[in-house]
């Protein structure tokens, strides 16, 4: 394909495409020169990005403790799963579209639209008078949240050279991680002290402040079109429609699988198959002459460093969600902890994840290296997964606390270093498209981060059901019902041999869950070998940076 950049191919004069795009392949650590002081407007924009990240990520966990009350209050019944699924599906499906809109209209207006959608959706959700209204509000909220998650990383990339991005991305993403950490506590407080509606209303003032700051200070350069029709003509309407439809179909199937229907049900298989076929049609359209400006330009998949980065981004996101779900589940089953207390017991992981991301962002800025951080990330998480697989009802507190530190440090190495690694092998013109793919794969990885361990867990329960001799217990945990028994009356009522046997069954099943996580960690570790070690650019070349302000004498300054 014309215009494709193939990594590692020789160019005239012996220069490789890695060197053409990103400088030289790094063979040793290179110190970074002291960066110039950032102007005040940079910091105001940066604060608005942190606020946006905080409010978007708060919704990831704030409902975890409030959900039972919400389900009872609006009479959602077994359909409660769509309250969270509507947000996740909308956020994931729209992200590549926002990446293309950021290239066509600049970063400012898509970000303002995202913040407005998120804030309005939060208000609709908080004021919902029934299940349908709540799901509609969550869908609008998800459209805005998906745009925010893409555009905040795109804007950071526009404001900073590649060498400095990891440090600032680490701060923004850590702000989001802090929101994830306090979400269950805030949700529980609102549910018990006020009303669950404040779980949504809280995002209105935070999103509103972020919108005002962005409207005033987020003045970025943008493309100029002769006519609005010229801008609209650049939008890949057919490609975006196919991709959104296929993604929604795929995610609907994955959400329903094991939750509303068995995985063997046609209700699950048909939408997943249709989603897969839709993605193939989308890929074919994107590379065809019919597509004038692809949503996902094929050139961003044309070198192995970018492709490897996308793959390890998917794996690391999956492992993060894997840990978020199944680490508390260990405490809720084998240790008999309540949901709220289990969130306290996983604080070592959640709290250490934030400084780990920031620390490794600083390390990457100082050294200009991303590949060693990827190895360290998967290596530490592989160690943590192996140790988690040994946990049972008697594991000491000291052990599971320190093992969580290993897992948090491993994922902290990966959170902020993967995107700069991907961007190092691509030109700055592909920042928005590559970031949108990165964001989508992260969201898609989150879905699989619950799906795969759930499949492993339920399969092991079925396979090892003969460990339990009590026929009543075997019936209660069979047919995919074992997961829902955490904190339930069944485990609380068991005594003696029946209790020991049931805990043994859960121990064996959770052991396999962490063995599988170990396998994916090792796969990620091996994939890192495919990445090239490319020097991170120290200069910023972008068409979308901060607008220049005029001095009193008429000259311009950044």
Three-point CA angle 384, 344, 459, nearest 5°? 50
Alpha-carbon torsion 333, 336, 342, 347, what sign?
negative
The model's pTM is 0.83
| Mean pLDDT in order along the chain per 10 residues (558 residues) | 39 40 43 65 86 84 76 79 88 92 90 95 92 94 92 88 81 80 79 83 90 86 79 91 95 85 88 96 94 91 92 94 87 82 85 85 86 95 96 93 95 88 86 90 87 87 86 77 71 81 90 96 96 79 61 44
| Calpha distance 342→152 (Å, rounded) | 32
Task: Write down the pLDDT at residue 383.
Answer: 97
Task: Write down the pLDDT at residue 336.
Answer: 83
Q: Where are the alpha helices (DSSP H) in 218-265?
A: 228-234, 237-256
Task: Write down the pLDDT at residue 552.
Answer: 42
CB 160 within 8 A of CB 168: yes
Alpha-carbon torsion 389, 394, 400, 403, what sign?
negative
Task: Write down the pLDDT at residue 34.
Answer: 62
Q: What is the 3-state secondary structure (H, E, C) of 123-134?
A: HHHHCCCCHHHH
Task: Write down the pLDDT at residue 74.
Answer: 85
């Amino acid at each position: 394909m014309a215009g494709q950049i193939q990594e590692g191919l020789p160019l005239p004069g012996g220069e490789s495409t890695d060197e053409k795009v990103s400088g030289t392949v790094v063979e040793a650590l290179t110190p970074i020169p002291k960066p110039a002081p950032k102007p005040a407007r940079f910091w105001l924009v940066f604060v608005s990005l942190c606020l946006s990240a905080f409010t978007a990520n708060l919704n990831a966990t704030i409902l975890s403790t409030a959900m039972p009350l919400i389900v009872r209050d609006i009479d959602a019944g077994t359909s409660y799963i769509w309250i969270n699924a509507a947000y996740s599906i909308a956020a994931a499906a729209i992200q590549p579209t926002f990446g293309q809109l950021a290239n066509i209209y600049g970063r400012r207006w898509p970000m303002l639209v995202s913040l407005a959608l998120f804030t309005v959706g939060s208000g609709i959700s908080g004021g919902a008078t029934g299940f349908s209204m709540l799901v509609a509000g969550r869908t609008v909220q998800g459209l805005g949240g998906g745009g925010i998650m893409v555009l905040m990383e795109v804007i950071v990339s526009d404001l900073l050279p590649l060498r400095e991005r990891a440090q600032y991305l680490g701060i923004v993403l850590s702000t989001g991680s802090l929101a994830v950490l306090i979400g269950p506590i805030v949700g529980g407080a609102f549910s018990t002290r006020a009303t669950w509606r404040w779980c949504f209303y809280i995002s209105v003032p935070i999103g509103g402040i972020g919108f005002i700051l962005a409207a005033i200070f987020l003045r970025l350069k943008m493309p100029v079109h002769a006519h609005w029709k010229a801008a609209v003509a650049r939008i890949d309407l057919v490609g975006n429609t196919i991709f959104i439809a296929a993604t929604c179909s795929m995610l609907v199937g994955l959400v329903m699988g094991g939750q509303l229907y068995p995985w063997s049900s046609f209700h699950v298989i048909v939408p997943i198959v249709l989603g897969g076929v839709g993605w193939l049609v989308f890929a074919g359209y994107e590379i065809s002459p019919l597509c004038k400006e692809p949503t996902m330009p094929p050139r961003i998949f044309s070198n192995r460093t970018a492709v490897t980065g996308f793959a390890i981004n998917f794996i690391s996101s999956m492992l993060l969600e894997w840990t978020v779900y199944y680490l508390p589940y260990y405490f809720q089953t084998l240790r008999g902890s309540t949901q709220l207390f289990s969130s306290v017991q996983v604080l070592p992981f959640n709290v250490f994840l934030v400084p780990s991301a920031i620390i490794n962002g600083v390390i990457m800025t100082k050294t200009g290296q991303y590949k060693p951080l990827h190895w360290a990330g998967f290596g530490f998480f592989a160690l943590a997964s192996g140790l988690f697989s040994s946990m049972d009802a008697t594991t000491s507190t000291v052990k599971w606390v320190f093992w969580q530190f290993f897992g948090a440090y491993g994922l902290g190495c990966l959170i902020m270093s993967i995107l700069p690694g991907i961007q190092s092998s691509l030109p700055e013109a592909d920042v928005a498209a590559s970031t949108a793919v990165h964001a989508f794969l992260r969201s898609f990885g989150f879905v699989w981060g619950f799906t795969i361990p759930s499949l492993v867990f339920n399969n092991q329960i079925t396979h090892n059901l003969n460990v339990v001799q009590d026929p009543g217990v075997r019936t209660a945990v069979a047919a995919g019902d074992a997961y829902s028994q955490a904190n339930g009356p069944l485990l609380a009522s068991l005594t003696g041999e029946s209790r020991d046997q049931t805990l043994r069954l859960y121990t064996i099943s959770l052991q396999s869950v962490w063995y599988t996580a170990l396998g994916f960690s090792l796969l990620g570790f091996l994939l890192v070998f495919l990445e090239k070690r490319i020097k991170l650019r120290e200069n910023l070349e972008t068409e979308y940076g901060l607008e220049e302000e005029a001095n009193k004498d008429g000259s311009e300054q950044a």
